[in-house]
Amino acid sequence: MTAAVGQRLRLALGAPDGARSVPTPAGGWPVVDGRVVATVPGPFLGLEGPGFEKAWYVVALDAPLAADFDPLHTLHGQPAAPATQVLLRPDLVDPPPPAEVRALPADVIGAALAADGRARVSVYVGRAAGALPERLSLAALKEGPLRWVCAAWAERLANCS
C-alpha cells in the first residue's frame, strides 16, 4: 500500500488535450469525488518493464458515473452498469523522452499532486471491485474489460471521515 491509499480526490473529467472536435457531453463534463482505495503498478506512456511501470490509482467514487457515460465512444456500445470505481493512469502534460521516464517517481500522480496541486490522468472503467490484478500490462489492457473513457485533472480534497 502506498501513501495514496485513503486520499480523497476530485476529478474534473474532460477530453484529452488537443481533442477540440469532441463534443461536450449533455449536461457538461462531470466533476466527481472519490477515495483512493488501492494502487497497482502499470505501464506508463506506453512503456513496460523495470523503471517504466508507475502507480495507477483505483478510486471508489462517491457517486457513480452514469451507465451511458462514453463521451469518446470507447466502450463500443457495450452495455455497462454505472461505474462506481475508476482506474486512473498517470499522464503528463509534457511527457519526457523515454530515457528520462525511469527517473520519474514510482507515484507520478502523487508527485504531481504534491508539486502542482493537481495531476493529469486518464480514466478507465470496467474493472469489477476486488478484481484488480497485482500488475497491469499493455496486453491485459488491450484484451481485458478495462476501457479508457476520458482524461481528467485530479486534485486532492481534504480528508474527512
* Model pLDDT for residues 33-65, shown as the tens digit of each residue: 999 999 999 998 888 877 889 999 999 999 998
Mean pLDDT value across residues 85-91: 93
Looking at residue 75, its amino acid is: L
* Mean of per-residue pLDDT scores for the chain: 83
Q: List, for residues 7-22, the tens digit of each pLDDT value.
A: 999 999 988 765 666 7
Grid cell listed for 159: 480528508
pTM assigned to the model: 0.86
Q: Which of 72, 63, 61, 58 is nearest to 14 (CA)?
A: 72
Q: Which of 54, 52, 27, 29 is nearest to 40 (CA)?
A: 54
Grid cell listed for 158: 481534504
pLDDT of residue 141: 79
**Do residues 17 and 151 lie in contact, with contact meaning Cβ atoms separated by under 8 Å?**
yes
